[in-house]
């Protein structure tokens, strides 16, 4: 792979160390629980897809725990989710939207805003997997856990906690040439010499002429927007062809919304404190997680599962009705009793289409200090 | 200042984007739904009782995209509320007695102010923080405090209070005042647009003989201006309504004194035309045209009428008389309009009706019309009693899109109906938290929505036995359209988009 130019990435060539790693993992005696970690843009997601493909033939179904709220594999941004996949990836380089088996709405694109809640979501999903597909299951499933690019600081601390909780059987660590940006060697999350899992170190696949790792260049903001657009496109029947964002914006504005009675749902702001009098001003024209509260666990943590995302189209306070559009099927919506507001923004490209411009997209917005003011 | 030019250019980009001047060239995502809301918050922040404004800013913060100056201004106001030094000015219970903590809060706010404005350009250009701060005029003391409090000891509370006042004033000048000045004066704009419409309308009447191209041009001008007024109405409904009302009143007042002020000035240029009055009759034409495009406008005007009457209560008789005249005229128009609209509003919001091939006149509609008429009668009687309150209170926070193209009135009308007219018959859907007005989406209705796109082949739609077949949503009404008409509309699409 040395010397491969970024443009040559279109055709996937599996580096030898990657092939060895996937072979090792898929020949483990028991179904493995694999955590893939390493710095950002090194190729964790790509490797996870490859690994999933190589586990499928033997197990038929593979669990996938998606923990990267910024760039999720199967879900819209802001969600942690657990999936059971029985179909191989055809595109190893791009994420695809798939319905989750269980999902939590964290509501931000980085876990840093609320590590505790984030880990709670993650642990819940893992517990769910263990309960349903490991302990007592006649054919236990293997699990792949893809992590965000956690290497240092708060992220590192979270990774440690997560590894301690999950106790994986295999940890795959991606490494890049800039040594200081890698995770520590060995079983960094264990205090003393315990019997740990199989450790596999692999290298980022692309290198320049000096054998320095080339990180995958991503426009993460654009990716998130496209993700959300793809997600809300599901509101429109699939036989309608919508090729442009403009068409989608028209279609979404024309969609009859669901009526949700204010008294039937609770509103929870995940990352901001909003005074009760201002809730509707806060919620109008934003993306919300449609959640189902399920009481509390033995550990005292409250669980809310997320049925999907919705856009609040309007609020009629007098009538007590919120208007929501969402691709979530009606039968799932019936149990939704919680609207979670996070910080996931509606893609701007949907808000400024001529003909249906959002009132939150005005003109004449001062966005820098004009020179006239500076002379004063 | 010479050498600062380059710096200035970069430093000016304090929250993203480029473009000339201090205004963004295009649209920007903001957390407020109208400039009226923004003004309300601005006035609140600078008033002796800023609590409500702060609450609203908290809501804005939860939406993301809160501009740095708004965020920091709110921080300063909130800290002041906690500072016993300002207690006399603002009476709040939860004052913070610890000077240390207060100093911490002030320095953090100041630090966030300086960083919020210069951190990005600092990273991009490598100019020092103080150079950049000087270029955009941040008071030097703030830059020093940022340095002191992050690297040395916490500055004294006395100094911090002074600095906070300076920062506050700077923010007011650099953001709040500048943004205020950057907003167009809606009243002036509406007035001039209405006069322009009037000018061309009258031109059209008396110039039937004129060549087609000229007439077309004036029609174009009229519809452009109407669209513009409509857009202004979306952003500042109350202002637009009050201007329209003003014009009505003026004419009523004038005509009661000297009967004829109208000078027909066809060849005089518009600027002088502006000074002329628009007669109530002409206004009626204009308002009719406007409300064809935006049915809510009439109700908006009525609302503002009621507000005006409430405030004018003490005035002498003649003034009131004028308002009442205008109001009666408006009510008449409104009731006609509402009835018409309701009669035309069948298919979409009532999925079941759509499935029956016989279209309108469902009992529900008739009920709604009756309800609306009743409501308006109530209006009338209330007006006469002069015992008025805000009956048609539109508490809806706001709808996401402002729909501009006729073909997309669809959604708006549905909401319109929910908000204003739909009788409360949700009984059949009781027990469901999520109700779909149209239980499942009829794929057939979607192509209709997509029609404005030139790529979409209207004539190639799957033709199924469905009442929407051959109908097109025009101005919020499902009209039967022939093949030729469709082709004609299609050929005109490019102008619409």
- For the domain spanning A6-203, the CATH number is 3.40.50.300
Output B283 or B16, whichever has higher pLDDT.
B283
Whole-angstrom CA distances from B135 to A194, B11, B24, B67, B139 are 59, 7, 20, 20, 10
The pLDDT value recorded for residue B348 is 35
Output B414 or B112, whichever has higher pLDDT.
B112
Is residue A332 a contact partner of residue B432, using CB atoms and an 8 Å limit?
no
Q: Cβ–Cβ of A333/B59 closer than 8 Å?
A: no
Q: Cβ–Cβ of A285/B33 closer than 8 Å?
A: yes
> Which token pair is B1?
């200042």
The pLDDT value recorded for residue A369 is 60
Q: Cβ–Cβ of B35/A362 closer than 8 Å?
A: yes
Mean pLDDT of B80-88: 81
Q: Cβ–Cβ of A285/B15 closer than 8 Å?
A: no
Q: Cβ–Cβ of B404/A244 closer than 8 Å?
A: no
Facing residue for B441 by CB, picked from A237, A318, A376: A237
In the predicted structure, residue B69 carries a pLDDT above the cut 50 = yes
The question of ipTM being above 0.95 is answered as no
β-sheet with A33-37: strand ranges across: A102-105, A79-85, A62-66, A143-146, A33-37, A170-175, A198-203
β-sheet with B434-435: strand ranges across: A266-269, A338-341, A287-296, A302-316, A321-325, A258-261, B434-435
Ranges A167-176, A194-203, B103-112, B444-453, most confident = B103-112
Contact residues, chain B, for A246 at CB < 8 Å: 453
In the predicted structure, residue B402 carries a pLDDT above the cut 50 = no
Residues 6+ apart with CB under 8 A from A190: A164, A196
Q: Degrees (nearest 5) of the Cα angle A339, A342, A346?
A: 95
Dihedral of CA atoms B45, B50, B53, B58 in degrees, nearest 10, equals 110
- Phi/psi at A322 (nearest 5 deg)? -105, 135
Residue B300, CB-side half-sphere exposure with 13 Å CA sphere: 22
The position carrying tokens 């061309």 is: B200
For the segment A96-122, what is each residue's pLDDT rounded down to a tens digit?
888 888 999 999 998 888 998 899 889
Facing residue for A365 by CB, picked from B28, B63, B446: B28
> Three-state DSSP class for A41?
coil
User: What CATH class has A220-351?
Assistant: mainly beta
> Which token pair is B106?
């002030």
Share of chain B above pLDDT 90, in %: 16
User: What's the rounded Cα separation, in Å, for the pair A306 and A342?
Assistant: 13
Domain-wise residue ranges, chain A: 6-203, 220-351
Mean pLDDT of B271-294: 67
Query: Per residue, what are the HEC states of B183-212?
Result: CCCHHHHHHHHHHHHHHHHHHHHHCCCCCH
For the segment B204-252, what is each residue's pLDDT rounded down to a tens digit?
555 555 566 777 777 787 788 877 777 777 767 777 777 777 777 666 5
Q: Could you tell me how far CA B451 lies from the centroid of its own chain?
A: 27
Of A165-169, A345-349, B224-228, B458-462, minimum mean pLDDT range:
B458-462
User: What's the rounded Cα separation, in Å, for the pair A195 and A172?
Assistant: 16
Contact residues, chain A, for B64 at CB < 8 Å: 343, 345
Cα–Cα nearest to B63, from B400, B433, B396, B394: B400
In the predicted structure, residue B384 carries a pLDDT above the cut 80 = no
Contact residues, chain A, for B408 at CB < 8 Å: 250, 253-254, 355-356
Strands A287-296 and A338-341, sheet pairing: antiparallel
Mean pLDDT of B384-401: 36
CA closest to A316 among chain B residues? B396
> Three-state DSSP class for A322?
strand
Q: Quote the radius of gyration of chain B (alpha carbons, Å).
A: 28
Beta bridge partners of B72: none
Contact residues, chain B, for A228 at CB < 8 Å: none
Q: Could you tell me how far CA B65 lies from the centroid of its own chain?
A: 19
In the predicted structure, residue B484 carries a pLDDT above the cut 60 = yes
The pLDDT value recorded for residue B382 is 53
In the predicted structure, residue B203 carries a pLDDT above the cut 90 = no
CA closest to B9 among chain A residues? A371
Q: Cβ–Cβ of A256/B35 closer than 8 Å?
A: no
Cα–Cα nearest to A178, from A212, A146, A151: A212
Contact residues, chain B, for A271 at CB < 8 Å: 62
In the predicted structure, residue B301 carries a pLDDT above the cut 60 = yes
Mean pLDDT of A137-163: 88
User: What's the rounded Cα separation, in Å, for the pair B356 and A258?
Assistant: 23
User: What's the rounded Cα separation, in Å, for the pair B487 and B491?
Assistant: 6
Facing residue for B404 by CB, picked from A237, A255, A356: A356
> Which token pair is A261?
């009675």
For the segment B171-192, what is each residue's pLDDT rounded down to a tens digit?
999 899 988 888 877 778 778 8
Q: Quote the radius of gyration of chain A (alpha carbons, Å).
A: 22
């Amino acid at each position: 792979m040395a010397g491969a130019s970024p443009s040559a990435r279109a055709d996937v060539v599996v580096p030898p160390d990657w092939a060895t790693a996937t072979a090792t993992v898929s020949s483990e005696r028991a179904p493995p629980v694999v955590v893939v970690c390493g710095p950002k843009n090194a190729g964790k997601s790509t490797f996870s897809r490859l690994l999933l493909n190589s586990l499928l033939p033997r197990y038929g179904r593979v669990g996938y725990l998606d923990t990267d709220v910024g760039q999720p594999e199967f879900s819209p941004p802001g969600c942690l989710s657990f999936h059971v996949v029985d179909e191989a990836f055809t595109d190893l380089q791009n994420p695809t939207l798939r319905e989750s088996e269980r999902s939590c709405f964290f509501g931000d694109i980085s876990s840093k805003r609320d590590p505790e809640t984030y880990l709670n979501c993650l642990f819940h999903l893992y517990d769910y997997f263990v309960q349903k597909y490991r302990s007592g299951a006649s054919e236990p499933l293997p699990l792949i856990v893809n992590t965000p690019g956690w290497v240092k600081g708060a992220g590192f601390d979270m990774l440690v906690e997560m590894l301690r909780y999950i106790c994986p059987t295999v940890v795959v660590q991606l490494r890049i040439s800039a040594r200081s940006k890698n995770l520590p060697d060995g079983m960094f999350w264990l205090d003393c010499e315990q019997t740990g899992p199989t450790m596999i170190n692999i290298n980022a696949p692309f290198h320049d002429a000096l054998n320095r790792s080339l990180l995958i260049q991503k426009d993460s903001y654009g990716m998130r927007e496209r993700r959300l657009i793809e997600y809300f496109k599901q509101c429109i029947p699939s036989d309608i062809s919508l090729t442009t964002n403009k068409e989608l914006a028209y279609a979404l504005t024309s969609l009859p919304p669901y009526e949700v009675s204010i008294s039937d749902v609770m509103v929870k702001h995940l990352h901001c404190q909003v005074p009760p009098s201002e809730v509707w001003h806060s919620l109008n024209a934003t993306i919300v997680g449609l959640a189902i509260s399920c009481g509390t666990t033995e550990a005292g943590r409250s669980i809310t599962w997320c049925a999907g995302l919705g856009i609040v189209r309007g609020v009629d306070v007098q009538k007590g009705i919120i208007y929501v559009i969402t691709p979530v099927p009606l039968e799932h919506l019936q149990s939704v009793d919680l609207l979670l507001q996070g910080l996931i923004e509606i893609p701007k490209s949907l808000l400024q289409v001529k003909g249906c411009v959002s009132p939150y997209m005005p003109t004449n917005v001062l966005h820098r200090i004009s020179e006239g003011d500076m002379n004063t | 200042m010479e050498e600062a030019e380059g710096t200035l250019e970069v430093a000016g980009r304090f929250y993203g984007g480029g473009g000339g001047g201090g205004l963004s060239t295009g649209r920007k995502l903001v957390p407020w739904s109208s400039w009226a809301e923004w003004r309300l918050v601005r006035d609140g922040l600078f008033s002796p009782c800023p609590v409500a404004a702060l609450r609203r800013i908290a809501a804005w913060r939860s939406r993301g995209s809160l501009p740095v100056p708004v965020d920091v201004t709110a921080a300063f106001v909130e800290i002041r509320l906690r500072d016993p030094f300002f207690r006399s000015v603002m009476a709040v219970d939860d004052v913070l007695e610890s000077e240390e903590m207060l100093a911490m809060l002030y320095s953090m706010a100041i630090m966030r102010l300086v960083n919020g404005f210069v951190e990005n350009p600092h990273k991009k250009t490598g100019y020092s923080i103080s150079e950049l701060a000087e270029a955009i005029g941040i008071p030097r003391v703030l830059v020093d405090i940022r340095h002191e409090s992050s690297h040395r000891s916490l500055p004294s509370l006395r100094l911090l209070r002074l600095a906070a006042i300076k920062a506050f004033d700077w923010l007011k000048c650099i953001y709040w005042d500048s943004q205020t000045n950057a907003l167009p004066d809606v009243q002036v704009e509406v007035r001039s647009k209405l006069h322009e419409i009037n000018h061309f309308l009258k031109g059209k009447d008396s110039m039937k003989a004129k060549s087609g191209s000229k007439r077309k041009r004036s029609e174009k001008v009229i519809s452009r201006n109407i669209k513009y007024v409509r857009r202004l109405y979306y952003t500042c409904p109350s202002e637009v309504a009050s201007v329209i009302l003003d014009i009505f009143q003026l004419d009523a007042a004038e005509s009661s004194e000297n009967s004829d002020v109208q000078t027909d000035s066809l060849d005089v240029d518009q600027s002088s035309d502006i000074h002329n009055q628009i007669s109530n009759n002409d206004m009626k034409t204009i308002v009719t045209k406007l409300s064809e495009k935006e049915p809510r406008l009439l109700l908006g005007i009525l609302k503002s009428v009621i507000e005006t009457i409430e405030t004018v209560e003490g005035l002498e008789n003649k003034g009131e008389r004028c308002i009442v005249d205008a109001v009666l005229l408006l009510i008449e128009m409104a009731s006609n309009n509402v009835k018409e609209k309701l009669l035309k509003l069948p298919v979409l919001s009532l999925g079941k009706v759509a499935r029956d091939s016989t279209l309108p006149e469902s009992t529900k509609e008739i009920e709604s019309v009756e309800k609306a008429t009743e409501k308006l009668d109530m209006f009338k009687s209330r007006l006469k009693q002069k015992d008025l309150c805000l009956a048609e209170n539109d508490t809806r926070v706001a709808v996401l899109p402002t729909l501009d193209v006729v073909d997309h009135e669809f959604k708006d009308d549905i909401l319109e109906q929910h908000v204003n007219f739909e009788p409360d018959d949700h009984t059949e859907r009781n027990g469901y938290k999520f109700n779909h007005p149209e239980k499942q989406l009829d794929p057939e209705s979607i192509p209709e929505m997509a029609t404005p796109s030139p790529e979409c082949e209207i004539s190639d739609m799957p033709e199924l036995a469905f009442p929407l077949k051959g109908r097109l949503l025009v101005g919020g009404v499902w009209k039967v359209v022939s093949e030729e008409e469709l082709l004609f509309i299609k050929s005109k699409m490019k102008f619409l988009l």
